[in-house]
Amino acid sequence: MKHQTPPNSLQGILFALGATIIWSGNFIVARSLNQSIEPATLSLLRWATAFLGLLPFACRAAWSQRAAIKQSMPAMIPMALLGVTTFNALLYKAAHTTSALNLSLIATSTPVFIILLARIFLRESLTVRKMTGLAVALAGVVLLITGGDPKRLTNLEFSIGDLWMSLAAVIFAAYSILVRRFPGGLSQSVFLLTLFGTGIIFLIPWTGWEVFTHGLPTITLGAAGAILYVGLGASLAAYAMWNSAVTSIGPSLAGLIYYTLPLFSGFSAFVLLGEPMGLIHLTSAGCILGGILLATRG
């Protein structure tokens, strides 16, 4: 019998933490480049970097699986449109008007929307525990985007960036539902290569409009390093680490570790960008994480 890795494997925990730390840096990059590169253009540069980085390792397998790729396109196109094209561009657009910590906190509400969409489209049960966790987590999101001021809610005085990020969270939840329903037939590397490439195709017209409207971005040495980080780091290395973590410790424990994302994003934003951390952020984070843990427990 093949030896099974213990569920509490230290290596798996470190891999999950490493992937989460890398992903938290994506929000820092979004904030640091929000004035120099337009959202769709930055997203295109990110995914093109990831695609080119993966291509040498997956091209041979992609060629051998070309028939399966063609068969998967009806399911692949909506996934790429949501998970690659739209989600990341909205995230980078949100970074123009909200903080890196807010971005990461709202991003952690994604599993709540997954629960709702799974109930609607996959007919998964919605228990009292899930409903309670959902309410607590959504309260945390509302607290975050209103800044703790109820008048902002009644007067609809939301930060536009928080609203864009909330929409991005819903879109990524929809993408996750589509991934769950994906029929398979592709290896992991070929799946990612096809997903990246399809999403890039949809990004080209959006990027073209941005270039026509705002001109070509100036890519400084720092911006080039940031693009390499989100392309090779957040899109390739983090995925490899995360897959290893899930194999070693299982998706549940890895998922719990993922919810440390605001901790790393907030600390990085505080150190690198000088963004403040206040009681509202801590309280909303507690509501979001507590609600998600309650909803997904067991």
Cβ-in-10-Å burial (0-12, 13-18, 19+) of 63 comes to exposed
Distance, C-alpha 67 to centroid of its chain: 29
Q: Tell me what pLDDT residue 2 has.
A: 41
Taking a C-beta distance cutoff of 8 angstroms, is the pair 32, 274 a contact?
A: no
Query: What DSSP string runs through the chain?
Result: -PPPPPTT-HHHHHHHHHHHHHHHHHHHHHHHTTTTS-HHHHHHHHHHHHHHHHHHHHHHHHHHTHHHHHHHHHHHHHHHIIIIIIHHHHHHHHTTTS-HHHHHHHHTTHHHHHHHHHHHHS-----HHHHHHHHHHHHHHHHHHHTT-HHHHHTT---HHHHHHHHHHHHHHHHHHHHHT----S-HHHHHHHHHHHHHHHHHHHHHHHHHHH------HHHHHHHHIIIIIIIIIHHHHHHHHHHHH-HHHHHHHHTTHHHHHHHHIIIII-----HHHHHHHHHHHHHHHHHH--
Q: Sign (positive/negative) of CA torsion 245, 228, 108, 84? A: negative
Q: Tell me what pLDDT residue 70 has.
A: 95
> For residue 82, what pLDDT band results from cuts at 50, 70 and 90?
very high
Buried b (16+ CB within 10 A) or exposed e, 197-214: bbbbebbeebbeebeeee
Residue type at 101? Answer: L
> For residue 210, what pLDDT band results from cuts at 50, 70 and 90?
very high
Residues contacting residue 154 through CB under 8 Å, at least 6 positions apart: none
Distances (CA, A) of 13 to 26, 35, 203, 245, 254: 21, 36, 35, 7, 7
Does the predicted model carry a pTM greater than 0.85? no
Structure tokens at 179: 């991934």
Q: Tell me what pLDDT residue 4 has.
A: 45
Residue-wise pLDDT tens digits, 46-56? 999 999 999 99
CB atoms within 10 A of CB 148: 14
Percent of the chain predicted with pLDDT > 90: 24
> For residue 256, what pLDDT band results from cuts at 50, 70 and 90?
low
Instruction: State mean pLDDT over 86-109.
Output: 82
Distance, in Å, from the CA atom of 255 to the CA atom of 249, rounded to the nearest integer, reads 10
Q: What are the structural domain ranges in the chain?
A: 39-220+278-296
Considering only 86-95, 133-142, 166-175, 268-277, which range has the smallest mean pLDDT?
A: 268-277
> For residue 5, what pLDDT band results from cuts at 50, 70 and 90?
very low
Q: In terms of pLDDT, which residue wins out, 184 or 216? A: 216
